[in-house]
Amino acid sequence: CVMIVFICQAAILMNVAGQQCVKWQDWEHRRARKGDSGNTIEHLLAEDGYWDPDTNQALALISWEHNPIKRLTTRSGVLELIQWRAIRHEFMFPYDEGTSQGFRSPIFRIKRHDRALFQFHRYLAKRLCEQFVELVEI
């Protein structure tokens, strides 16, 4: 009985991890603006009432939820997307106020010409899979 519960939990976690990887892949390829399909960050900001495309003005300030319980239960696609893009940018171009250029060496080196080809969602998916395997092994 315990093994069946464990297998069910592992299957549910695997499904959730797969959905998260698909979401990351979508975000990786999402354009910021000028998309024909209306599938841009600009469109999402306008849809959620943060931006008016006609006047090109912000309608509301973006604020992040600091309560961890509310963050787990409330999902806002465009806010999650903006946070993900900020994390991706910090990962690709780490900032350090102590240096003259403002950039510090990343944890691992990505050559400047390879940054355009680097797929952050695949890197995260690989790390998520490694963590999932570690969790199941315990």
Rounded distance between C-alpha atoms, residue 128 and residue 18, angstroms: 10
CA angle 25, 113, 21 (to 5 degrees): 10
Rounded distance between C-alpha atoms, residue 118 and residue 111, angstroms: 10
For residue 27, what pLDDT is reported? 86
For residue 1, what pLDDT is reported? 80
The one-digit pLDDT tens for each residue of the chain (138 residues) are 888 888 898 899 889 889 888 988 888 888 888 766 668 888 888 888 888 888 888 888 888 778 888 777 776 678 888 888 888 888 877 766 666 555 555 555 555 556 667 788 888 889 888 888 888 776
CB distance 17 to 124 below 8 Å: no
Q: What are phi and psi of 2, to 5 degrees?
A: -65, -40
**HEC string for 70-127:** HHHHCCCHHHHHHHHHHHHHHHHCCECCCCCCCECCCCCCCCHHHCCCCCHHHHHHHH
For residue 135, what pLDDT is reported? 81
